[in-house]
Amino acid sequence: MARRLTLQDVAKRAGVSRSSASYVYTQPERVSAELRAKVLAAAAELRYPGPDPVAASLRRGRAGALGVLFTESLAFAFADPAAVLFLQGIAAAGQRADTALTLLPVPTTFDPALTAIRNSVVDGVIVYSLPDGHPALQAVAERRLPTVLVDMPPAPGTATLLIDDEGGAYAVAAHVLARGHRHVGLLADRLAADDARGFADARRLARMTFPVSRWRLAGYERALREHGIAAVPLYEAAGNSVQDGATGARELLALEPRPTAIVAMTDQLARGVLLAAAELGLDVPGELAVAGFDDLPEAALTVPPLTTVHQDHVGKGAEAARLLLEGEAPPEPVVLPTRLVARGST
């Protein structure tokens, strides 16, 4: 392949200066119609692909893209409807600002390279629900780019966007307990960034690294305390698929005494609970009450419809993008509301 075409080539062919040719692309109204026509004609003849965005970005000092660093692996994130809705919100806000969205690959145990984070061409980064102490967070901080932390503890100098996880969890647990349930099972997706699966003991609970799980559990526990219930079983499913939820539900429902209610930390898990209940021939909500968290679109479509905690995932994404595009990190975390949605499953 021959040398790449540059603006210089176009300018020479059109018989104008390089700066004039540049203006044709960046400020077309600034140049005369005649000059514009000459340059565009020369560009078309040479099949010039337009000014190189990398060079333009370097000169302008602006990349034109927002980076998003997602919960552990991207594959996991795309399998999680809540994460996808969040991304949808970012994308919509970015589209309005004519800004592209760059998904940064998160380093994994298999592939611990941070090069993609270090080399990504972005003007800012949205970090979504990373566990405590994840090395990717450090790598982002070193870039010293504007950053918005979402569903994570605040850090100095960065904007933080949260939802009221504790309050929402409290509300849904209190709702279940108000219906008289004393034998409640809790179902979590993941408490820490490993593959642990099974009933969580005190030691495990002391080592939770996923902030969202920690906050939601705190809300459940407050409601339980207020109802005089000291300890309930908590099953950790090691994942957030419907199947993970079904697996966890089977374990919880095998306990003696059998729980009469299962409160799940996500709607995905709660959907699995409904599946397991159907398998076992348990009537919901007659023999088993089920509640989730997130109010995914699916939650209204299950049989029976799922009691859950509403949060506006798309709005959260849009707000995250807005915080980044506006610059000026607010000193205090922005906290979006949650709201109990009682449906047929409780």
Partner DNA sequence: CTGAAAGCGCTTACAG
Which residues of the chain form contacts with a copy of itself (CB under 8 A)? Answer: 47, 49-50, 52-58, 63-65, 67, 73-75, 78-79, 84-85, 87-88, 91-92, 94-96, 98-106, 108, 111, 113, 115-116, 118-121, 142-145, 242, 275, 301, 303
Pick one of a copy of itself, DNA, none as the site partner of residue 8 (Cβ within 5 to 8 A by kind): DNA
- Least distance to a copy of itself, CB of residue 48, Å: 9
19 makes contact with DNA (CB under 7 A): yes
Q: Which stretch binds DNA (CB under 7 A): 10-18, 177-185, 230-238, 253-261?
A: 10-18
16 makes contact with DNA (CB under 7 A): yes
Compare residues 27 and 119 and give the one whose CB is closer to a copy of itself: 119
Query: Which residues neighbour 26 within 8 Å (Cβ) at sequence distance 6 or greater?
Result: 51
In whole angstroms, what is the distance from residue 200 CA to residue 237 CA? 10
150, 129 Cβ separation under 8 angstroms: yes
Q: Is 229 exposed, middle or buried (0-12, 13-18, 19+ CB in 10 A)?
A: middle
130, 304 Cβ separation under 8 angstroms: no
CA angle 233, 237, 240 (to 5 degrees): 130
182 makes contact with DNA (CB under 7 A): no
Pick one of a copy of itself, DNA, none as the site partner of residue 301 (Cβ within 5 to 8 A by kind): a copy of itself
- Whether residue 53 is preceded by a cis peptide bond, meaning omega within 30 degrees of 0, is no
Binding mask 59-98 for DNA (x = CB under 7 A): xxx-------------------------------------
Pick one of DNA, a copy of itself, none as the site partner of residue 7 (Cβ within 5 to 8 A by kind): DNA
- Least distance to DNA, CB of residue 310, Å: 44
- Whether residue 304 is preceded by a cis peptide bond, meaning omega within 30 degrees of 0, is yes
Instruction: Specify the pairing of strand 261-264 against strand 184-188.
Output: parallel
- Least distance to a copy of itself, CB of residue 30, Å: 17
Compare residues 19 and 95 and give the one whose CB is closer to DNA: 19
In whole angstroms, what is the distance from residue 12 CA to residue 15 CA? 5
Compare residues 59 and 182 and give the one whose CB is closer to a copy of itself: 59
| Eight-state DSSP code of residue 240 | -
Compare residues 85 and 148 and give the one whose CB is closer to a copy of itself: 85
Each as own residue / partner, the long-range contacts of residues 72-78 (CB below 8 Å, 24 or more positions apart, any chain) are 72/106, 72/108, 72/130, 72/131, 72/193, 73/106, 73/108, 74/103, 74/105, 74/106, 76/240, 77/128
- Least distance to DNA, CB of residue 160, Å: 28
Binding mask 20-59 for DNA (x = CB under 7 A): x-xx-xxx--xxx-xx--------------xxx--xx-xx
Pick one of a copy of itself, DNA, none as the site partner of residue 22 (Cβ within 5 to 8 A by kind): DNA
Q: What b/e readout covers 38-77, taking b as 16+ CB neighbours within 10 angstroms?
A: bbbebbeeeebeebeeeebeeeeeebbbbbbbbbbebebb
> Which residue ranges make up the site for DNA (CB under 7 A)?
3-4, 6-8, 16-20, 22-23, 25-27, 30-32, 34-35, 50-52, 55-56, 58-61
